[in-house]
A and B are shown apart, each in its own frame.
Chain A
Amino acid sequence: MNTVTKSELIEALAAEQLHLAQRDVEYSVNAVLEKMGEALITGRRIEIRGFGSISLRYRGSRVGRNPKTGDAVTVPEKYVPHFKPGRTLRERVNQLDDNQPSESSAEN
């Protein structure tokens, strides 16, 4: 499956935001991602209307195993980021099969 990378996203944004220097687009994308990461690290959640939300889920400590040696190790309690797609994103991604002939699957 084709993947859009951060640098491709930056290029695509720069191609449309012609009033911004490519460098500012790059700073902006990095600033947005840093801000979102920072928010999660300090226990905040992210909520982007029409896109989705990322919140933290608690995972209690557990006894796991080193898959190589089979030794038991204690995995400490932690939080993990969890994404819940928003309604618009959910619907737009899922509309393919219902409404349109699936063009993108023919490309593969």
Chain B
Amino acid sequence: MTTTITKAELAATLYEEVGLNKREAKEFIELFFEKIRVALEDGQSVKLSGFGGFSIRDKSQRPGRNPKTGVEVAVSARRVVTFKASQKLKDDVAENVDVISGSLSNRSEASA
């Protein structure tokens, strides 16, 4: 099991657990994320109960700085996506602090 889960592993889940064929599974995963992108692009929020919600936030222009040169430049007004994990996901993650710490520290030892 690798540290990062990607579209390939999500597709494998649909193949193994739902019984879609490999092509269907791959296409489904692509379409799943595309539908969410389209909704967000359209200015809509996407709420996935038990997991979390993606929403859009309009940011006004603000002063910023080039971190390398220190020169002041304005950060232009922009529209950004934010994610808020559901209370259930937050609780599940928070409760597993020991498991996560263990898995993260094993990983850094392994990569060291």
From B6, B20, B42, B94, A28 is in contact (CB under 8 Å) with: B20
- B residues contacting the other copy or chain, number (CB 8 A): 65
- Beta-carbon contact of B5 and A47 below 8 Å: yes
CA–CA, A95 and B17, complex, Å:
38
How many A-B pairs have beta carbons closer than 8 Å: the answer is 186
CA–CA, A41 and B98, complex, Å:
10
- Beta-carbon contact of A36 and B5 below 8 Å: yes
A51-B36, A104-B43 given; name 16 further pairs at CB < 8 Å.
A1-B43, A4-B45, A17-B24, A24-B20, A29-B32, A32-B32, A36-B10, A41-B92, A44-B4, A45-B5, A78-B93, A81-B83, A85-B80, A96-B79, A104-B42, A105-B43
7 smallest beta-carbon distances between A and B, as pairs = A83-B83, A43-B103, A43-B100, A78-B94, A104-B43, A39-B5, A81-B85
